[in-house]
Amino acid sequence: MVVLIVLLLTYAVFYLLPAGDPALRFAGKSPTPESIALIRHRLGLDQPWYVQYGKFVKNFVTGDEYGWPGLGYSYVNGVPVLEQIKERTPRTLLLIVGAAAIWLVVGVSIGVLSAVKRRTVADRAAMGFVLFGISAPVFWLGLMALFIFWSKLHWTGGTGYVPITEDPRGFVSHMILPWTVLALLFAAIYARMTRNTLLETLGEDFIRTARAKGLSEREVITHHALRASLAPIVTMFGMDIALLVGGAIITESVFNIQGLGWLAITSTFNQDLPTVVGVVLVGAIAVVVMNLFVDIAYAFLDPRVRYA
Amino acid sequence: MSEVVLDVRSLSVVFPTQTGDVRAVSDLSYTLHRGETLGIVGESGSGKSVSSLALMGLLNRNRARITGEAVLSGRDLLSLPSDQMRDVRGKDVAMIFQDPFACLHPMHRVGDQIAEAVTAHVKVSKSEANKRAVDLLDAVGIPNAKSRSRDYPHQFSGGMRQRAMIAMALVHNPSVLIADEPTTALDVTVQAQILKLIERVKDEFDIGVILITHDLGVIAETADTVLVMYAGRVMEVAPSRELFQAPQNPYTWGLLGSMPTIERRLDRLVAIEGSPPSMVAVPPGCAFNPRCPYRFARCTTELPELKDVEGGHADRCHLSDQSKREIWAATAAERLGATG
């Protein structure tokens, strides 16, 4: 249902709202009259909008001549949209997974540390890191990281993407900087949120109960406080992952990873409408799917949700 | 009387703040015997909860200055290092709290939370700990204890949660159980059941119970000895029956006078005039003097001593015994008059 509405909105935004002939926009920057006629026929632009939308949905659901789900053909690049997306998605996903692992571990640990050692030097240092992480622009951080670790120290690989199947070492060496840079911003945000949620939880009565039964402070923090603070972290995590699927644009650009974000940008510049629609749909579906995951995770985390 | 389990000597708790020191508890002393229920009454902010949290080591020692001593089986709880204090908590001294809705972890099973109290102090297998949890739930009157122990707190009613808290407190047969307003958040009918349960486990497990409340009705039903606190100090301490029949302190008179009874239907609730003092600026002399209808010059300058009256009854007031007797007799007559 949600996916259908997403399809309708995407369709409306890209096909109906812009002024001018959609076929012209689909054809790319310098179309020939033949290609325009072909596109117009393929898109069924001589038919009313609901037939067009129906065809758009039908293609998406049942697939077209290029496979499932049917996303059409990029006339600019001369390849099916689906093929481009299939090529770009793993890069973005691997970028996100690596970064997410780093920022979860680093962010949550720093948050816990700084909540437990509140108002100490460690806490101040952690909050200083948070401020830096949130303020530092990703493109600047990315370029500085490349300059120091690649160009000067030669510790890591440079820009570009090395497929993991071809050269695992090269893959890691090229991904470590983008992972870290992307993770830094999120680690900062997660550290701050973990700290705040945890401090709030530590004021709860059930924490006093846990202490009253003689648990060690370590057990109180991990088994009781952190457990109750997980839900908001999981929610934010799900949303951030989903947004990054279509939105790791700056990181992908700085490190020339050419994933989905890069595909969205280049196809926008080239007025490659079918590709833009494809990427937007993938991003929207990622949001829907992650929402579902978050809901399922909630049921695991909180028994009150499970039985309601 | 039976063996003394807890001996509190001149306990004081001060919270230094930017606006001055908050003297939450000043010079509090009492003894608690096995099988005895000591009731501590007082208004909000009188220091009754803080004094117990200090005993439990649950006050942040960086933010509270705690002095005095509290001796439990030969050890002074107030000077124990925190890791040894951790081992005392939940083992020798257990505590239950006001709001059973907020006191159990919402995401852990009730039985697991009790079992955790077991494994916090002794090395036993998880199944043994769980068995102990089920036995205790059964002992505090949870029906189908075995299956209910697998429930989460939100599947329990308020009374059942408080029962579960009591079960958790009993895990290691503590010598002292501190109950901090255990019935305040519960329905009246459930209150009575919980009080009965505390009474029963006190006898069965031979525990000394400290019952903190602002409800004199609760005190009348359960306490053997009563300690009346005001502004962090003991105003009067007496055996329960004594306190209700021959109270000595004007503050106690005020508390008793504000308690409606069935014989004495009040058209309006009687309150003690004024409100408790700010704990940063406690009035000089007797802290109660600004609200006391019987005060005289000496009350505003000199803090009265806690003087023994007779048979374990002590009182902190400058009034002479003679005038106290007269005033109380007059008040009592007036109360009877109100009934007629």
Domain ranges for chain A, please list them: 2-62, 82-307
Chain A environment of B105 (Cβ under 8 Å)? 206, 209-210, 224, 227-228
Separation of CA B314 from chain center:
18
What is the Cα–Cα distance from A8 to A217, expressed in whole angstroms? 53
B282 and B177 within one domain: no
Chain A environment of B106 (Cβ under 8 Å)? 206, 228, 302-304
Confidence class of residue B267 from pLDDT cuts 50, 70 and 90? low
B257 and B207 within one domain: no
A219 and B CB contact within 8 Å: yes
A108 and B CB contact within 8 Å: no
B272 and B221 within one domain: no
Q: Which pLDDT belongs to residue B15? A: 92
Q: Does residue B236 sit within a domain?
A: no
Answer yes or no: are the C-beta atoms of B124 and A229 closer than 8 Å. no
Q: Does residue B171 sit within a domain?
A: yes
What is the Cα–Cα distance from A27 to A35, expressed in whole angstroms? 7
Cβ neighbors of B31 (< 8 A, separation 6 or more) are B4, B6, B7, B8
* Domain limit, last residue, from B174, B194, B229: B229
Q: Which pLDDT belongs to residue B340? A: 42
Mean pLDDT of B319-336: 81
Share of chain B above pLDDT 70, in %: 95
* Domain limit, last residue, from B202, B229, B256: B229
Nearest-CA distance from B161 to chain A in Å?
12
B127 and B222 within one domain: yes
Partner residue opposite A214 with nearest CB, options B91, B107, B155:
B91
ipTM for the complex shown:
0.85
Partner residue opposite B103 with nearest CB, options A206, A228, A303:
A206
B108 and B18 within one domain: yes
B117 and B10 within one domain: yes
Partner residue opposite A213 with nearest CB, options B99, B117, B154:
B117
Answer yes or no: are the C-beta atoms of B260 and B54 closer than 8 Å. no
Cβ neighbors of B282 (< 8 A, separation 6 or more) are B23, B231, B232
Asked if pLDDT for residue B281 goes beyond 80, the answer is yes
Chain A environment of B165 (Cβ under 8 Å)? 209
Partner residue opposite A208 with nearest CB, options B58, B107, B116:
B58
Strands B208-213 and B37-41: parallel
A200 and B CB contact within 8 Å: no
What is the Cα–Cα distance from B40 to B237, expressed in whole angstroms? 9
Partner residue opposite B116 with nearest CB, options A211, A215, A227:
A215
Mutate to test the interface with A, among B88, B107, B118 (most CBs of A within 10 A): B107
Q: Determine whether the interchain pair B107/A301 forms a contact, defined as Cβ–Cβ distance below 8 Å.
A: yes
Q: Which pLDDT belongs to residue A53? A: 78
What is the residue-level pLDDT of chain A in tens, covering all 308 positions? 777 787 788 777 776 666 566 677 677 777 777 877 777 777 677 777 778 778 777 878 777 777 677 777 777 777 888 888 888 888 899 999 999 999 999 999 999 999 988 888 988 999 998 898 888 888 888 888 888 888 888 887 777 787 878 888 888 888 888 899 889 999 999 999 999 999 999 989 999 999 999 898 889 998 999 998 988 899 899 989 888 887 788 888 888 888 888 888 888 888 777 888 888 888 888 888 899 999 898 888 888 887 65
Nearest-CA distance from B289 to chain A in Å?
35
B303 and B283 within one domain: yes
Chain A residues 238-297 within an 8 A CB cutoff of chain B: none
Q: Determine whether the interchain pair B154/A304 forms a contact, defined as Cβ–Cβ distance below 8 Å.
A: yes
Q: Determine whether the interchain pair A214/B152 forms a contact, defined as Cβ–Cβ distance below 8 Å.
A: no
* CATH label of the domain that carries residue B81: 3.40.50.300
Partner residue opposite B102 with nearest CB, options A205, A212, A214:
A205
A216 and B CB contact within 8 Å: yes
Partner residue opposite B102 with nearest CB, options A204, A212, A219:
A204
Nearest-CA distance from A303 to chain B in Å?
6
Q: Does residue B12 sit within a domain?
A: yes
Nearest CA in chain B to A201: B105
Nearest-CA distance from B171 to chain A in Å?
9
Q: Which uninterrupted H or E stretch holds B139? A: helix B126-139
Q: Does residue B102 sit within a domain?
A: yes
Q: Which pLDDT belongs to residue B335? A: 67
B103 and B65 within one domain: yes
Mutate to test the interface with A, among B116, B122, B166, B171 (most CBs of A within 10 A): B116
Mean pLDDT of B73-84: 90
Chain B environment of A303 (Cβ under 8 Å)? 106-107, 152, 154
Partner residue opposite A212 with nearest CB, options B58, B99, B121:
B58
* Tokens describing residue A10: 């995407």
Q: Which pLDDT belongs to residue A308? A: 57
Whether the CA torsion A131, A132, A136, A138 is positive or negative: it is negative
* Domain limit, last residue, from B229, B252, B272: B229
B141 and B62 within one domain: yes
Q: Does residue B92 sit within a domain?
A: yes
- For chain A, the three-class secondary structure string (H helix, E strand, C coil) is CHHHHHHHHHHHHHHHCCCCCHHHHHHCCCCCHHHHHHHHHHHCCCCCHHHHHHHHHHHHHHCECCECCCCCEECCCCEEHHHHHHHHHHHHHHHHHHHHHHHHHHHHHHHHHHHHCCCCHHHHHHHHHHHHHHHCCHHHHHHHHHHHHHHHCCCCCCCCCCCCCCCHHHHHHHHHHHHHHHHHHHHHHHHHHHHHHHHHHHCCHHHHHHHHCCCCHHHHHHHHHHHHHHHHHHHHHHHHHHHHHHHCHHHHHHCCCCCHHHHHHHHHHCCCHHHHHHHHHHHHHHHHHHHHHHHHHHHHHCHHHHHC
Average pLDDT, chain B: 89
Asked if pLDDT for residue B266 goes beyond 70, the answer is no
Chain B environment of A224 (Cβ under 8 Å)? 105, 108
Chain A environment of B152 (Cβ under 8 Å)? 303-304, 307
Q: Does residue B221 sit within a domain?
A: yes
B277 and B199 within one domain: no
Strands B93-96 and B20-33: unpaired
Q: How many domains in chain B?
A: 2
Asked if pLDDT for residue B208 goes beyond 80, the answer is yes
Q: Which pLDDT belongs to residue A138? A: 82
Whether the CA torsion A99, A105, A111, A117 is positive or negative: it is negative
Nearest-CA distance from A204 to chain B in Å?
7
Residue corresponding to tokens 């019987």: B294
Mean pLDDT of B171-182: 93
Across the A/B interface, how many CB contacts are shorter than 8 Å?
75
Cβ neighbors of B35 (< 8 A, separation 6 or more) are B2, B202, B203, B206, B207, B208
Q: Omega of the bond prior to B182 within 30 degrees of 0, cis? A: no
- Cα distance between the two ends of chain B: 41
Q: Determine whether the interchain pair A214/B88 forms a contact, defined as Cβ–Cβ distance below 8 Å.
A: yes
B213 and B330 within one domain: no
Q: What is the CATH number of domain A82-307?
A: 1.10.3720.10
User: Where in the sequence is the domain holding B276, given as residue range(s)?
Assistant: 241-339
B246 and B222 within one domain: no
Q: Determine whether the interchain pair A209/B168 forms a contact, defined as Cβ–Cβ distance below 8 Å.
A: yes
Chain B residues with CB-CB distance to A under 8 A? 56, 58, 86-91, 94-95, 97, 99, 102-108, 116-117, 120-121, 152, 154-155, 165, 168, 171
